Structure 1
Amino acid sequence: MSGVTLRNVTKTFGAVKVIKGVDIEIGEGEFCVFVGPSGCGKSTLLRMIAGLEETTGGDIEIGGRRVNDLDPKDRGAAMVFQTYALYPHMDVARNMGFGLRMNGWPKDEVDRRVQEAARILQLEPYLDRKPKALSGGQRQRVAIGRAIVRDPEVFLFDEPLSNLDAELRVATRLEIAKLHGTLGNSTMVYVTHDQVEAMTLADKIVVLRDGRVEQVGPPMELYRNPANLFVAGFIGSPKMNFVELSSGAMPDGTPVAQTGTARTLGFRADALRRSADGPLAGTVSVVEQLGDAVFAHFRTPWGQELVARFDPGTEIRAGEELRFDIAGPRHLFDADGQAMDAALRPAA
């Protein structure tokens, strides 16, 4: 196993700077997820680690070695792409062993590695099948197997679940999580735009926006202690509620903060508690019944859309008038959108 280090990494395409001085430390055995909206630079960073994109500036290290000038095959990393990229005329075994055969590995060793990867991925019954005879999830496992046979120091995943339907996404996500332990907690770097995937898979999440790192940390640390408005709104489903403040008070004048420097109040949907005389009121516009929870979207008197979480089975109707207390953690953000020290105290 080896860790990955990025030091002041930059990338430009012509006059456009897409990666803007990224510093990341990924420890040995960590499952690190790059997450962010489309165009934030997460896939570009992954391709730079793999050697598929040149680095404009800074250093990339794998296992303590600077790899900027090494060919992809010499970096000790194996990449699983968004598309399976399987050879349709080859069976599963030949697809998984193709790269090793092209690099002149002995047939016996190639066969041994293919058999071991098939065992790990439960592909042994399918080794003589062509890709067209496999499901989408099985094809993705073959693509992962092609990486496993290389015995890399680092696995790189570029949105590997995006081509699967919802049920297969969940099943394959669980398989990847199990794979991390089966392979001796190998170092894995995983790119996704789906924050649910990030929260459920990662030891460490790197939130990216516009080519910069917004925050790095364990999933629940980012959820509980977001560094800024962007992270607070990106991590968590549904996203955090935000209310613009005026001198530490709600738009209707209700005091909510001890300091006049706070500009935005944030709170999760489950921080709201129904209360007959609560300071926050609204008219329900949409009700989502999700089985394990009920989400009520409501519009405040000043025209803002917010969302509250209720226990399953709670009867709420569109058009109903509700009042709330903010009974859970509150988050305060300054005029620049940065979290304030007082932001993480539970409401009194």
Structure 2
Amino acid sequence: MPGLSLKGVTKAYGATKVIHGVDIEIDKGEFCVFVGPSGCGKSTLLRMIAGLEEISGGDVFINDQRVNEVDPSHRGVAMVFQTYALYPHMSVEQNMGFGLRMNGRPKAEVAKRVEDAAKILQIEELLDRKPRQLSGGQRQRVAIGRAIVRDPQVFLFDEPLSNLDAELRVATRLEIAKLHRQLGGATMIYVTHDQVEAMTLATKIVVLRQGIVEQVGAPMELYSNPANLFVAGFIGSPKMNFLEVSPGADGALQFKDGRSINVTGKANNIATVGVRADQLRAAPLDAAALTGEVSVVERLGDAEFVYVRTGWGQEIVVRFEGGADIPVGSEVGFNLSGRTHFFDTDGAAIDGLTVASH
């Protein structure tokens, strides 16, 4: 059963269209992440679901009810903002229960809901404190608690971790993932430009670019089968290596330095080969499809990312196990193996092709 449906949703400011006919189905209980670069329309889309932005065209349904003209307070949604939006003069308890009190809920009910939410978020000892006495991570938990007490049908998160440092981002991300499991059937929609957050939190990812949905799917589906160059380059860290190719002899694909690879399947209209850092294998220089000079080595303990500048000046990144100790300035060679991706002249993925073994 759909928890949320967007059907042909558009948004325009005057003559400028920023959301172009978005169609999305989000099932009840899913954790859906809208991801894309700054300015792609993901926050605008979230605000239209919440009722904070007027919908220019199309329809929004929450649990099969059309809500285009429904007041935000009656849509059954709760929003967690990037800036926390806590009242500085109120205690944590008062902040969390404020919306319920404004709706005239009985004091006993408000107290019980706040207490239950505080237990879920492990902030019981903070209920008497003011926001200024809290860390950034604690403030974000209070903001999430304020959403929980409303018992909404849909939770909306608008880049909630952007103001936290790296360590707190990871910790709070884990807390949000646990929260989704604890709340059972709660539908969550989360906006971020960070593809790592998207991959680790989502059951469904919506990739947006310039107000257009590029691809929708499970995290590993988008990682393993990107629909186009944009999705392939946006999902995954480090970014996928893209190598321009041209037709060579006997159906081979030729790189800019004249080296080539053979492909099983019809290799028509291929313009770009995509390969991730862990899908390149070291090979002798005279038998390698790709060669170049090592320019930078990032040592991360269990892994090393080696940046190699090819003969035509393009930099590619290759993943090695930790301790590989590849010297900067050395000449290295690689062959493509595992899952290689192919894209046509328009940037669309071409399925059914593999690199012939070397």
Q: TM-score, normalised by structure 2?
A: 0.95
Residue of structure 2 in register with 1:268 after alignment: 276
Residue of structure 1 in register with 2:298 after alignment: 288
Residue of structure 2 in register with 1:157 after alignment: 157
User: 2:349 aligned to 330, 339, 343, which one?
Assistant: 339
Structure 2 counterparts to residues 90-129 of structure 1, below 5 A? 90-129=90-129
- Is residue 262–residue 355 contact of structure 2 (8 Å, CA) maintained in 1? no
- Is residue 226–residue 339 contact of structure 1 (8 Å, CA) maintained in 2? yes
Counterpart code for 1:340: I
Counterpart code for 1:312: G
Residue of structure 1 in register with 2:340 after alignment: 330
- Is residue 261–residue 289 contact of structure 2 (8 Å, CA) maintained in 1? no
- Is residue 89–residue 130 contact of structure 2 (8 Å, CA) maintained in 1? yes
Residue of structure 2 in register with 1:313 after alignment: 323
For residues 256 and 43 of structure 1, the distance between their equivalents in structure 2, rounded to whole angstroms, comes to 44
Q: CA deviation at 1:147?
A: 0.3
Further displaced range: 213-222 or 274-283: 274-283
The question of 1:25 aligning with 2:25 is answered yes
Structure 2 gaps, min length 5:
248-252
Q: Deviations over 1:10-40 (max 9, x none)?
A: 0001111000000000001000000000000
User: 2:257 aligned to 249, 252, 261, which one?
Assistant: 252
- Is residue 261–residue 355 contact of structure 2 (8 Å, CA) maintained in 1? no
Q: CA deviation at 1:341?
A: 1.8
For residues 268 and 325 of structure 2, the distance between their equivalents in structure 1, rounded to whole angstroms, comes to 38
For residues 329 and 180 of structure 1, the distance between their equivalents in structure 2, rounded to whole angstroms, comes to 32
Q: Whose strand fraction is larger, Structure 1's or Structure 2's? A: 2
Counterpart code for 2:335: D
For residues 256 and 185 of structure 1, the distance between their equivalents in structure 2, rounded to whole angstroms, comes to 49
- Gap change, CA 1:192 and 1:287, over 3 Å in 2: same
Structure 2 counterparts to residues 28-107 of structure 1, below 5 A? 28-107=28-107
**3-state SS in 2 of match to 1:221:** helix
For residues 292 and 219 of structure 1, the distance between their equivalents in structure 2, rounded to whole angstroms, comes to 23
For residues 221 and 259 of structure 1, the distance between their equivalents in structure 2, rounded to whole angstroms, comes to 23
Query: CA RMSD for the aligned pairs?
Result: 1.2
- Gap change, CA 1:346 and 1:160, over 3 Å in 2: farther
Residue of structure 1 in register with 2:313 after alignment: 303
Structure 1 gaps, min length 5:
none
**3-state SS in 1 of match to 2:111:** helix
Residue of structure 2 in register with 1:218 after alignment: 218
Further displaced range: 290-299 or 175-184: 290-299
For residues 218 and 2 of structure 2, the distance between their equivalents in structure 1, rounded to whole angstroms, comes to 19
**3-state SS in 2 of match to 1:113:** helix
**3-state SS in 2 of match to 1:43:** helix
Counterpart code for 1:284: V
Counterpart code for 1:323: G
- Is residue 204–residue 217 contact of structure 1 (8 Å, CA) maintained in 2? yes
Counterpart code for 2:327: R
For residues 355 and 128 of structure 2, the distance between their equivalents in structure 1, rounded to whole angstroms, comes to 58
Q: CA deviation at 1:347?
A: 5.2
Counterpart code for 2:281: R
Q: CA deviation at 1:255?
A: 3.3
- Is residue 295–residue 309 contact of structure 1 (8 Å, CA) maintained in 2? yes
Q: Deviations over 1:253-289 (max 9, x none)?
A: 3134451410100000001111112121011111111
**3-state SS in 1 of match to 2:156:** strand
Aligned pairs, number: 347
Q: Deviations over 1:42-64 (max 9, x none)?
A: 00000000000000000000000
Structure 2 counterparts to residues 204-215 of structure 1, below 5 A? 204-215=204-215
- Is residue 326–residue 347 contact of structure 1 (8 Å, CA) maintained in 2? no
Percent of pairs identical after alignment? 69
**3-state SS in 2 of match to 1:3:** strand
- Gap change, CA 1:2 and 1:217, over 3 Å in 2: closer
Residue of structure 2 in register with 1:166 after alignment: 166
- Is residue 83–residue 160 contact of structure 1 (8 Å, CA) maintained in 2? yes
